[in-house]
Structure 1
Amino acid sequence: MKHIDFYLDFVSPYAWLALEQLPQALDGLSYHLHFKPVLLGALLKQHGNPGPAGIEPKRDWTYRHVSWLGHRSGVGLQMPAQHPFAPLPLLRLALATSHDGCINRHVAREVLRHVWQGGLDPLDPARLQTLREGLRLQHEPESDQVKAWLRANTDEAQQRGVFGVPTWGVDGQVFWGLDALPMLRAYLLGDPWFDTCTGAAQVRNGFKA
Structure 2
Amino acid sequence: MANPIEFYFEFGSPYGYFSAQEIDAIGQEFGREVVWKPFMLGSAFKATQSMPLMNVPLKGPYCVHDWERMSAYTGTAWKLPEKFPAAILAAPRGFYWLKDQGQDELAVTFAKAAYKAYFAEGRPLWELEATADIAAECGIERDEFLQAVQTPEVKARLIEEGQKAIESGVFGSPFIRVDGEDFWGWDRLAMVRDWLKNGKWG
Query: TM-score, normalised to structure 1's length?
Result: 0.82
Aligned AA (2:159): R
Q: Give the equivalent residue in structure 2 for 1:76.
A: 77
Aligned AA (2:108): R
The unaligned stretches of length 5 or more in structure 2 are none
Q: Give the equivalent residue in structure 1 for 2:6.
A: 5
1:142 matched to 2:150: yes
**Equivalent residues of 2:173, 2:184 under 8 A apart:** yes
1:43 matched to 2:44: yes
Equivalent residue pairs, number:
194
Query: TM-score, normalised to structure 2's length?
Result: 0.85
**Equivalent residues of 2:89, 2:126 under 8 A apart:** no
Q: Give the equivalent residue in structure 2 for 1:187.
A: 195
* Map 1:82-93 → 2, pairs under 5 A: 82-93=83-94
Identity of aligned residues (%): 23
Q: Give the equivalent residue in structure 1 for 2:111.
A: 108
C-alpha displacement at 1:28, in angstroms? 2.4
C-alpha displacement at 1:126, in angstroms? 5.0
The alignment yields a C-alpha RMSD, in angstroms, of 2.3
Give me the whole-angstrom Cα distance separating, in 1, the residues matched to 2:127 and 2:166.
30
**Equivalent residues of 1:35, 1:102 under 8 A apart:** no
From the superposition, tell whether residues 86 and 43 of structure 1 become closer, same or farther in structure 2 (CA, over 3 Å): same
C-alpha displacement at 1:125, in angstroms? 5.5
Aligned AA (1:118): E
**Equivalent residues of 1:36, 1:101 under 8 A apart:** no
Give me the whole-angstrom Cα distance separating, in 1, the residues matched to 2:32 and 2:23.
11
Aligned AA (2:88): P
Aligned AA (1:71): A
**Equivalent residues of 2:81, 2:118 under 8 A apart:** yes
Give me the whole-angstrom Cα distance separating, in 1, the residues matched to 2:132 and 2:164.
30
**Equivalent residues of 2:95, 2:110 under 8 A apart:** yes
Give the secondary structure class of the aligned counterpart of 1:83.
coil
Q: Give the equivalent residue in structure 1 for 2:18.
A: 17
C-alpha displacement at 1:179, in angstroms? 0.6
Moved over 4 A (4+): 23-27, 100-103
Q: Give the equivalent residue in structure 2 for 1:169.
A: 177
| Cα offsets for 1:79-126 (capped at 9, x unmatched) | 111101111232223333221799543122011011111234333455
From the superposition, tell whether residues 132 and 105 of structure 1 become closer, same or farther in structure 2 (CA, over 3 Å): closer
